[in-house]
A = this chain, B = another copy of it.
Amino acid sequence: MFSKEVYENRRQRLCEMLPDSFLLFVGNAEEPFNYASNTYSFRQDSTFLYLFGIDSPNYAATIDTATGNVTIYADDITLDDAIWTGELPSVSVIAALSGVTITKPSGALFDDVRGELKRRRVHFVPAYRATTVQKIAAMLGLQTEAVNTYVSEPLIKSLVTLRSTKEQCEIEELENYMRVGYDMHVSAMKMAREGNSEQVVRAIVDYISQRNGGHVSFPTICTIHGEILHNSPTTQVLKNGDLLLVDAGSESPLHYATDNTRTTPVGGHFTQQQREIYNIVLNANNAVAAAVRPGVFYRDMHLLAMRTIVDGLTQVGIMKGSIDDAVANGAYALFCPHGVGHMLGLDVHDMEGYSENYVGYDEEVQRSTQFGFSALRMARRLQPGFIVTDEPGIYFIPALIDKWQAEGICKDFINYEKLKTYRSFGGIRLEDDLLITPDGGRVLGQRIPINPDDVESIVCSK
């Protein structure tokens, strides 16, 4: 945990933003794997971590912003439990680390919430786990399906405001931990050898996360089919000439997520064709890193990356015509059907549980409806302390190419004939994590090797 002042300060600011309100926070429970007592690894809810820092299951909390009273609800373990789990600090000791002095047993929550319900609204954020939905439904007397229609927009907006701008302690926590992401990716590069399977490389990547104490930030993508954007690793064996795309990150001890992508030539040598496409993606990544600064819309960084991609693909003859028009018409989305990046923090897609539109969009910028552009998660103005991913990619997706060609989509901008020679190319994505500073931005931590010569020499080293 951070010092208790960090959590006290966050809650204080929340109280100022939402005067005279009653706020309910339900922490996560253990989730069953294949029966009740065999559970997945515990992950606390990020909102709960942010406001209380308590990383144990079956906690809940309320804040009365009128009085400033904060109450933690949880149960101490019994001697019988202690035989199985060892002795643990009491709830009141844990709560005190977060600066909370009022604790009650879990059973008291129901009545407390019911009591408040008679007087005023109970504010809560969307619940993404069925266990949480059921708890809230029971407390508020709602049907489970209805729970998320009663979430509090004011609470969501306040939390987005607070969590978007990272405090110094958060930046340090994540920046210190970026070395683990670095190790994960450099290790994968070294494993990009003929004969290793996707599964084995992924196992090494995840092992490095785990030996540092961190759960992976998301299921590791480790594939020689980078064009399948969220491909699951298989027992498929790498062969020279393949491109190995690894998109992976690890959660720091306090659950801040790293998230990087590198694409490595198996065997250590890019073909001429691979190197050309790789450099276009790298140019797009670098262009964004050089252009970010407070006040800039991240939507415009998306368009900058996509313009760089269109420019590059035009130079190699895959695209054609006006670059301006190609970008305006979203022709790039055939090659990059996702957005250039997202916020990063306690969630790898930070705050996505609140709904993307609260996090990446606001009164100034609305989500596009254009294919590809509509997938952009983060579009609004950057501010100092924001952390965003910068992750352009170029993919050759046979099913999508066939669909666009059959329907004549963007045929003025795409050289479908030339494209045929890229049909089995795969995909490339290059992703860094950027901290927005008062006068620009910088890659968080030591940048994972990204220049093609550097990547080749790591594969070839032993």
**Option from B38, B129, B403 in Cβ contact (under 8 Å) with A130:** B129
- The distance from the CB of A237 to the nearest CB of chain B, in whole angstroms, is 13
Task: Name the B residues within 8 Å of A397 (CB-CB).
Answer: 83
A218–chain B nearest beta-carbon distance, Å: 5
Q: In the complex, are the beta carbons of B35 and A349 less than 8 A apart?
A: yes
Residue of B nearest to A223 (CB): B86
Neighbouring B residues of A79 by C-beta, 8 Å: 399-400, 403
Q: Which residues of B contact A87 (CB under 8 A)?
A: 399
CB–CB B129/A86 < 8 A: no
Decide: A228 near B84, CB < 8 A? Known: A38-B218, A199-B213: yes
Chain B residues whose C-beta falls within 8 Å of the C-beta of A403 in the assembled complex: 79
Choice from B86, B199, B225, B399 contacting A82 with Cβ under 8 Å = B399
User: In A214-234, which residues have CB < 8 Å from any B CB?
Assistant: 215, 218-219, 225, 228-232
Q: Is the CB of A85 within 8 A of B231?
A: yes
Give per-residue flags for A195-208: 1 if the beta carbon is below 8 A from chain B beta carbons, else 0: 00001101110110
Contact of A35 among B82, B204, B229, B353 (CB under 8 A): B353
Binds B, one of A39-47, A97-105, A305-313, A385-393: A39-47
Given A83-B400, A129-B130, A200-B211, 8 further pairs, Cβ under 8 A: A31-B31, A34-B46, A83-B228, A86-B225, A130-B131, A130-B134, A199-B213, A204-B207
Alpha-carbon separation in the docked complex, A229 to B85 (Å): 7
Interface of A is mostly: mixed
Cβ-neighbour of A38 out of B84, B202, B349 (below 8 A): B349
Q: Are B211 and A199 in contact (CB under 8 A)?
A: yes
Which residues of the other chain, B, contact A131 by a CB distance below 8 angstroms?
130
In the A-B complex, the 3 residue pairs with the closest CB atoms? A130-B130, A203-B211, A35-B353
A34 x B83 contact (CB < 8 A):
no
Copies in the complex: 2
Flag A2-37 by CB within 8 Å of B: 1 or 0 each.
000000000000000000000000000001111111
Q: Is A340 an interface residue, CB under 8 A from the partner?
A: no
Complex CA distance for A211 and B316, rounded to whole angstroms: 39
Indicate if A210 sits at the interface (CB-CB under 8 A).
yes
Alpha-carbon separation in the docked complex, A35 to B144 (Å): 17
Q: Closest residue to A403 on the B side, CB-wise? A: B79
Answer yes or no: A133 CB below 8 A from chain B CBs.
yes
What is the distance, in angstroms, from A113's C-beta to the closest C-beta of chain B? 17
Q: Which residues of B contact A38 (CB under 8 A)?
A: 218, 347-349, 352
Chain B hits for A45, CB < 8 A = 34
A110 at the interface (CB under 8 A from B): no
The reply to whether B228 and A213 contact each other, CB–CB distance below 8 Å, is no
A265 at interface (Cβ–Cβ under 8 A)? no
